[in-house]
Amino acid sequence: MGAKIPKGVLLMGPPGTGKTLLAKAVAGEAGVPFFHISGSEFVEMFVGVGASRVRDLFSKAKKEAPAIIFVDEIDAVGRKRGSGLGGSHDEREQTLNQILVEMDGFDPNIGVIVMAATNRPDVLDSAMLRPGRFDRRVMIGKPDIKDREAILLVHAANKPFETDVDLKKLAERTPGFTGADLANLLNEAAIFAVRKGKKTINQDDVLESIEKVLLGPQKRSKVMSKKEREMTAYHEAGHAIVGHFLEHADPIRKVSIIGRGMAGGYTLSMPTEDISYKTIAMFKDDMAMAMGGFVAERMIYGHESLSTGPSSDLKSATQSAKAMVLRYGMSDKLGPRDFGQNEEMIFLAQEIHEQKNYSEKTAELIDEEISVLLTEARERAEQLLLEKRDKMEKLVQLLLEKETVEEAEFKAILDGKE
């Protein structure tokens, strides 16, 4: 038909989604010689070495043609040329030029297909992405619920699970996890089972490993004073109660006052399905839930006794409000417009320039709008906690007694059951 075979395939996607694994699979399936090299292997201290390595690699591949060359982490050599920022590098540019010439130069490479992987397609040179070079771009995103179940099946094949382990439920509990996260999750579950001296892995091991991957290991040895434990209990109960009664917040799966990673306690909320888009209502409910801990502490202990506990909650609420105003056009006052972030170029620890596409007057309006959103979130959390004060007290008592409250017990308290 007169069509030509595409010469370049670029695999793009977040870290851990399986780009290199896919290249390995292609190597196994294709039945042709497969040359694998990492982008950083081209770059040496001596100028010209990278370019000569590219020439050698392509000449070897041409001799063996048809063949596949796979370059992992191609952003190490394929960055935009001539920007002068971020440390322009002669050797890297020569290597890139040589790759471009080899792929689609005067002497065509017949029967050699180049695959490359990167998780930073935004920094790649435009000459690499033009037709004739990497014109096949394959986006490998984070897996959805069916994909996660299939990935878990692969990693579960060599592990002795008990019958109560439901991989479908596990796929539901892990939105946003990449393939690497899921492999790590089942590995952690196996390690937990070994530590407990068991021969099989049960549902509890798996659920605990989700929290370890998300938040870090449990800190059971940390000694907290009675006042600190109580404060943590009120803080987490504040999050949980606000999150439960808001329509667009994710369902609460677990509340605990045992520290994990950097957190003193945690409230685990997970969506019931994968979400691609977030609405204003979702943002507002998430911010109100984030404010729940701060509001509960202030309600019980007064303004003078506010602690440093809610700092990460305040940070996440502020980031959400900022994103709503600056990036998603969700502010009525400022209208549907993208306000370019201050994209600071940092080079040798010096900020070279700031890119701002709005005036100082607009900056004041932006600050006002962010404050309005955060105040509204705090007021909603306050109103809810005042209404449900008795339920919050019940949850706090249970947390102080048991330290961890699972979803079923949590719902029972809110429905007024024992």
Active site (catalytic) residues? 236
DSSP class of 263: B
At 391, list the tokens: 């339920």
| Distance, CA of 409 to CA of 398 (rounded, Å) | 9
At 77, list the tokens: 């050599």
Could you tell me if 92 and 77 are in contact, meaning their C-beta atoms sit under 8 angstroms apart?
Answer: yes
Does the CA dihedral 280-283-289-291 come out positive or negative? negative
At 85, list the tokens: 């920022």
Q: Is 115 helix (H, G, I), strand (E, B) or coil?
A: strand
Q: Is 11 helix (H, G, I), strand (E, B) or coil?
A: strand
Could you tell me if 116 and 133 are in contact, meaning their C-beta atoms sit under 8 angstroms apart?
Answer: no
Judge residue 101's burial from the number of C-beta atoms within 10 Å of its C-beta, 0-12 exposed, 13-18 middle, 19 or more buried: middle
At 377, list the tokens: 């979130």
